[in-house]
Structure 1
Amino acid sequence: MQLSKEMVLEQANNATKNTLMETLDIKMIDFGDDFLIARMPVTPKVHQPDGVLHGGATAALAETVGSFASHIFIDTENMFVRGLEITANHLKSVRSGFVYAKATFLHKGRTTQLIDIKITDDDDNLISVCKLTTISLPKNK
């Protein structure tokens, strides 16, 4: 049985209880055949001391949406996903509002996946460009 978009997003968001994702208020908000979008509020809890979005919070958002994208698009009955490497290039500062992370696959292999993640603000300005490599490994039964 194929789950509806709303059910997939609800399951993804419910999986974040008592995790870093809940602490940062990261929510999955949309997905399609080849993308997943998450958002995170930019508040003092994710700021650097000078009042702008912390690069580490941005990287956490990117790794979250990229890993969830891999998770959504693999056989989770038999496989699990782990991040191998992440890079982040921060291009613009943000003080408030939301940032949105859109994950799209550059490579969707059976074992490794390469995901491009673009972080934008409420006005669709490009804030950061990230790349995430994940690996899908068999579950031990």
Structure 2
Amino acid sequence: MTKLPPDLSPELIARLADSGGGELPRRMGIEFIELSAEYSVARMPVEGNRQVVGLLHGGAHVVLGESLGSISSAIHAGPGRYAVGIEINATHSRSVTEGWVTGTCRSISLGRTLATHEIVITDDDGNRLSTVRMTNMLRDQR
């Protein structure tokens, strides 16, 4: 069960429940544990997300980070608004070949038009594997 903020819009709750966070995160086995604008956590299996030499694919790190940053920004945007990613970068500092990885997302800046998050991805032993930073533009629905 994912822990959600009590004031989360029913529309966003329904979209998250229906989509599992989106097609790609669902396909990659991402499990959302806690979601809020300021702090979110998700995990992902290494198996099924490895590149040709057996390491967790660098792009998988970015997908986990972007999933957390996007949902956290959408929560911050609130009802009648949505988040669009405009910048993302990742620094990979360690590799992993098995187990699970955990992404912990913390807000850096939550403004009216931009939201920036840092996502730290760790292995089962708590070793930092990657640091992802993402900025989303917050827009009004038309």
TM-score range, shorter chain: 0.7 to 0.9
How many positions carry a matched residue from both structures?
134
Look up the equivalent residue of 2:41 and give its one-letter code. I
**Alignment check: 8 A CA contact 1:83 1:132 kept:** yes
How many Å separate the matches in 2 of 1:13 and 1:127? 29
Residue 119 of structure 1, CA deviation: 0.3
How far did 1:30 drift?
1.8
Tell me how far 1:114 sits from its aligned partner: 0.9
Structure-1 residue corresponding to 2:58: 55
Identity %: 31
Alignment of 1:1-141 (within 5 A): 2=6, 12=16, 14-16=18-20, 19-31=23-35, 34-43=38-47, 45-75=48-78, 77-140=79-142
* Residues in 1 aligned to 2:94 and 2:14: alpha-carbon distance in whole angstroms: 31
C-alpha separation between the residues in 2 aligned to 1:33 and 1:67?
A: 10
How much is the aligned-residue C-alpha RMSD, in angstroms? 2.1
TM-score by length of 1: 0.86
Q: CA deviation at 1:27?
A: 1.4
How big is each residue's C-alpha offset from its partner over 1:56-89, in whole Å with a ceiling of 9 and x where there is no partner? Answer: 11101100011011112221x2101111111000
Q: 2: CA distance between counterparts of 1:98 and 1:57? A: 12
Q: Name the CA distance, whole Å, in 2 between partners of 1:17 and 1:78.
A: 19
Secondary structure of residue in 1 paired with 2:77: coil
TM-score (norm 2): 0.85
Conserved in 1, the CA contact under 8 Å of 2:41 and 2:105? yes
Judged with a 3 Å threshold, the aligned counterparts in structure 2 of structure 1 residues 38 and 18 are, in CA distance, closer, same or farther, namely closer
The aligned amino acid for 2:127 is N
Equivalent position amino acid for 1:108 in 2: L
